Chains A and B, each alone.
Chain A
Amino acid sequence: MDRAPPSLRAAAGDTASGRESAHMTAPADLEVSIRKRLGAFALDAQFATRARGLTALFGPSGSGKSTIVAAIAGLLRPDSGCIVAGGDTLFDAERRVDVPAERRRVGYVFQDARLFPHLKVRDNLAYGLKRAPAGDRAIGFDAVVDLLGIGHLLDRRPLRLSGGEKQRVAIGRALLAQPRLLLMDEPLASLDAARRLEILPYVERLRDGLGLRIVYVSHAVEEVLRLASTIVVVDGGRVVAQGTPADLSQRRDLQAFFGRFEAGSVLEGRVVGHDDRHRLTRVAVRGLGLLLPRFDLPVGTGVRVRIRARDVILAIAPPVGLSVQNALEAVVTEIANEPGPYAEVKVDAEGAVLLARVTRDSVERLDLAPGRRVHALVKSVAIDGDSVTAAPIDLD
């Protein structure tokens, strides 16, 4: 997070064949449309992602997320449908196309690392690299070792590594096979909270530094909201929604997935300045300025800020004499009653949508209704380091 990701893409264009370099520079879409019956479970999933970056397959355990990535990798054969990645058909039941997993060039990071126990870390890392086409080794060994901070582990054997170290080596091993697409199947699920925080920045570096297309499976809301450019919500073997974190996390029909208590909004903006004296960072979100506790991202970096509904306060008059730093003028767009004494109020501040959790009593007292002008107050201290992440953002 604190240093710029090293540039890993060497000048590969000259050496790589035309076709290879084409999908390096302009990766095409990933299209998945598959059906698979596994005992009582039926998978029937369709989605397509256009965005470069990280697509999260998100949903409860047993929803079929892992089945989808196994099918993309070629480790599981769908009953019907097709899978197209980077313009190449990997699987098409009708046309009888089924590229073997070993020729798909789809990287896979498993939940349980699956390092080869008889090989040293160095040889684990080199395993895929040696088998990648010689003309297409744009991701270099040293760069990956550096990126993942595993230089001191190279001569060790996998079984003696910690969970976090294993997972970093597994990520490196998959990267060095020069994949056109990297699948990560709950890569953090087997780690404790501290190890998870250790790995997350590395995943962000992959996403931002390598420009790699990543499909990331997780059932953890925080991970998905922090990492994803696109979220595909999977439930009961079906895709139930697809969109950006900002859109999906506000949808009331998806609250079962994103969690009631963690309901909130995700704002995307750009760092515009740091106030070192007060240890604050100013972030511009569309027309608005937000003051947040200082974080170490350079000015100009795109960021994603997650604001929980319970950390937003609404006022009908401009606040005076409050310690709150962020008071945004906004218009109420929607009010939804919640079980218990709460209501969730959606407000629009210059196009940025915020969700506020207030009591129903307050709704009546303040006479809140769609169209009403309010001031949305966000406590800076409510936004801790974990709520702000660097994100590849295209702001107009």
Chain B
Amino acid sequence: MRRHRRAHASTRGELALLTEAELQALWLSLAVSLRAVLFALPLGIACAWVLARRRFPGKTLFDGLVHLPLVVPPVVVGYLLLILFGIRGVLGKPLYDWFGIKLVFTSAGASLAIAVTTFPLMVRAIRLSIEAIDTGLEDAARTLGAGPFDRFFTITLPLMVPGILAGGVLAFSAGLGEFGAVITFVSNIPGVTQTLPLAIYTATQTPGGEAAAARLASLSIALALGGLVLSELLARRARAMLAG
């Protein structure tokens, strides 16, 4: 309890050092990245499970596709998103026409860009945790009368929790720093799509913005470090829980 309060107080102290616009960029980054992770997670879990447990023709290709954002320049990812999800894009047009969903130049679009670029990191962490699960446990559940979905939700998924937490936090931290895909797809609109790294970029391009850039960069580093530590702590905690 006390620890919470202290953390809260110190955050507030830090916030006072930031300008309104910088603060906005920080909150936007956190919100956009969190949303990206939450939406990507179900698909990430599914992909990780398929890659860890299934054998099918074209698996190597599928694996490559999932990992592609890791090696393709983020600008290219942003460009492809623009083509696919632009107002006249293959997917963007029906989305807009039928559901009124517009992704380009919106914070939702920023989340999509982040979800795509951090996807491989998430899948990797979750996949490792699935591969660490003894398939014998699932066999045991079968002999006890559990069908495929039952087994997945009562045995496999709970045992994946450490990996899901680690993968989620990792993707979230990496998402906070995503630059190329975001700026290409949704541009750099303060208050809408200007996330932390974009704000840093803007500051460096503005005369007299060095101090702001330094503040935001430090904040960025602190968030990234915090994310890594949290990911590790969560994973450790989950492992300890499993160990009783």
Contact = CB atoms under 8 A, between A and B. Distances in A.
Report if A and B associate in a common complex.
Answer: yes
Given A108-B140, A114-B136, A131 B146 contact: yes
A101 B143 CA distance: 6
Contact of B142 (A74, A117, A159, A160): A74
Given A102-B146, A110-B136, A131-B146, A116 B141 contact: yes
B244 interface: yes
B233 interface: no
B30 interface: no
Nearest to B134: A114
A257 to B, nearest CB: 28
Contact of B143 (A106, A118, A157): A106
A157 B140 contact: no
A114 B140 contact: yes
B137 interface: yes
Interface string B138-153: 0111111111001000
B145 A131 contact: yes
Interface in B215-244: 241-244
Interface in A81-123: 100-108, 110, 112, 114, 116-118
B137 A157 contact: no
Interface in B99-145: 134, 136-137, 139-145
B159 interface: yes
Contacts of A177: 143-145
B155 interface: yes
Nearest to B157: A118
A174 interface: yes
Nearest to B238: A118
Given A118-B159, A127-B141, A159 B146 contact: no
How many residues of B sit at the interface, in one of the four size bands?
20 to 34
A244 to B, nearest CB: 29
**Most central of B145, B154, B244 by chain A CB within 10 Å:** B145
A114 B159 CA distance: 13
B243 A108 contact: no
B158 interface: yes
Given A116-B155, A118-B159, A177-B145, A110 B244 contact: no
A75 B142 contact: yes
A159 B136 CA distance: 15
A108 B143 contact: yes
Given A114-B137, A156-B244, A157-B243, A127 B144 contact: yes
A40 to B, nearest CB: 22
Name, among A74, A128, A132, the residue most crowded by chain B CB atoms within 10 Å (CB to CB). Answer: A128
A197 B97 CA distance: 73
Interface string A158-200: 1110000000000001100100000000000000000000000
**Smallest CB-CB A-B distances: 7 pairs:** A157-B244, A131-B145, A128-B144, A108-B143, A114-B140, A101-B142, A160-B244
Interface of B: 134, 136-137, 139-147, 150, 154-155, 158-159, 241-244
21 contacts: A75-B143, A101-B139, A101-B143, A102-B146, A102-B150, A104-B143, A105-B145, A108-B139, A108-B140, A110-B136, A110-B140, A117-B137, A117-B242, A117-B244, A118-B241, A128-B144, A131-B144, A131-B146, A157-B242, A157-B244, A173-B144
Interface of A: 73-75, 100-108, 110, 112, 114, 116-118, 127-128, 131-132, 156-160, 173-174, 177
